[in-house]
Amino acid sequence: MGRSIRRPFPSAEKQIQALGQRLRVARLRRGISTVLFAERMGISRDTLNRLEKGDPAIAIGTYMRALRVLGLDRDIDIVARDDELGRKLQDLKLPGLTPRGRGRPASPQSAIGDADGKSTR
C-alpha cells in the first residue's frame, strides 16, 4: 500500500519546483554529473530527477542532503529565522497590552468618525 501525498498549495508547489531548479543549476555549476550527485546523496537517479523537478513527495531530508553535498547546507539556517509575525502575535498576549499597544481598547467613535461622517484618523 503506497503513501498518500497531499499536494501542497500552488504557491508552495512553485517554490518547491524553483528550489529543485536551483539545486540542478548549482550541481551543473560544480560540474557534478547526475550519477555522481545521486551516489553522494545516497539516492537513485530517478529520485534525483524528481528532486530537481520539485516533486513535493521528496522528503525534506533528501533536500538537506542535496544542500550538504553542494556545500549550501548553511542556507537552510535562514529559513524562518526572523519570525516577525510570530513575535508580534506573542507580544499581543503580554499582560497589559492590546492590539493598539496602549493598554485600553480603541473607542468605537474613533473607528466610526466624527458627527459629519468624516474619519478622524
In a domain, 120, yes or no: no
In a domain, 63, yes or no: yes
In a domain, 19, yes or no: yes
Q: What total of structural domains would you count in the chain? A: 1
**Phi, psi torsion values for 56, nearest 5 degrees:** -70, -10
Domain extent for 54: 10-78
Residue 110 has pLDDT above 50, yes or no: no
CATH of residue 53: 1.10.260.40
The pLDDT, as a whole number, for residue 80 is 81
| Between residues 83 and 102, the one the model is more confident about | 83
> What is the rounded average pLDDT for all residues in the chain?
83
In a domain, 96, yes or no: no
Q: What is the 3-state secondary structure (H, E, C) of the chain?
A: CCCCCCCCCHHHHHHHHHHHHHHHHHHHHCCCCHHHHHHHHCCCHHHHHHHHCCCCCCCHHHHHHHHHHHCCHHHHHHCCCCCHHHHHHHHHCCCCCCCCCCCCCCCHHHHHCCCCCCCCC
How confident is the model over 46-85, as pLDDT tens digits? 999 999 999 999 999 999 999 999 999 998 888 888 889 9
